[in-house]
A = this chain, B = another copy of it.
Amino acid sequence: MSRRRSKAEQRPDGPPWRVTMHDVIFESDTPAGWVFDVALLLAILLSVTVVAVETIPSVAERNWLILGRFEWFLTVLFTIEYTARLACARHPLRYAVSFWGVIDLLSILPTYIGFFFVESDANSFVILRSIRLLRAFRVLKLWRMMDDAEELSQAIWKARHKIIVFLIVVLVAVTISGTLMYFVENVIPRMTRGESPADDSEFIASQFDSIPQAMYWAIVTMTTVGYGDIVPKTTIGKFISATLILLGYSLIIVPSGFVTAELTSKKSAEPAGETKCPRCTSAEHHGEAVYCYRCGERLTAEG
């Protein structure tokens, strides 16, 4: 409720059909609105499936006809939805340039462009393919379904400073770990073997063949993803990477704790009222406060 502006304010002026249509499309608390929401949900899921399946060569070849028909059916459906939203929005232009308006337009445009676009050469084939892939962003329309997402976004938003600090810490840790491992896996073996600088073939034999590559390894490792496409080969490299893993692990559990603590404290804080002192306007009073902690003024009525 607090998320959107009040319903009355949002509702369009004009003929009653616009108001009814608005309620069906933008609200989900009427039966018709609920049916519309579920239908839209199914259409989005089906549409994303079609886009995904079209990229599997074996399936796409055999079923191109049925996939194409589904695609057109869904595009027409989304076109109707887009037109309807434009028609019954209180401020059609404002909707058209809003985040949702752009996403809704992006859901239908690629199919039409693909239809009119002439596939003349290799280059245009690639562009066409890229445009068609844009349809996968229809999945963003799912976001509109989620009333509960509000709390999640708020939690992320509240924790944004922590997340940025965390990302900087990770960046620093990743750069240093990466450089260290690049050095250990490349420069040390060369030192001990005393190769000439001209013979660079041996030198790049390690999988840590550049610092960016080693930083990619550090990110994959510190987040405990651990693909295993890049692993230390030397004994010293294994020893140092084991140490870095333990340090990284000890480090990386801290921001998780931060976010949890943020959410937990929010939970506990919730029951606390929003009362302001009538004399000195200070807030953050104790949950059961009777007197202002700053000026001693009585907060609640004597009754």
Contacts and interface: CB of A to CB of B under 8 A. Distances in A.
A175 interface: yes
Grouping DSSP codes into helix (H, G, I), strand (E, B) and loop, the A interface class, with mixed when no group exceeds half, is helix
A258 B263 contact: yes
A175 B225 contact: no
A171 B142 contact: yes
Contact of A168 (B142, B221, B289): B142
Contacts of A183: 130, 133
A145 interface: yes
Contacts of A263: 254, 257-258, 260-261
A260 B223 CA distance: 18
A149 interface: yes
Interface residues of A, number: 120
Contact of A227 (B175, B226, B295): B226
Contact of A55 (B159, B211, B250): B211
A194 B256 contact: no
A182 interface: yes
Contacts of A146: 165, 168
Interface stretch (A4-12, A64-72, A279-287): A279-287
B139 A176 contact: yes
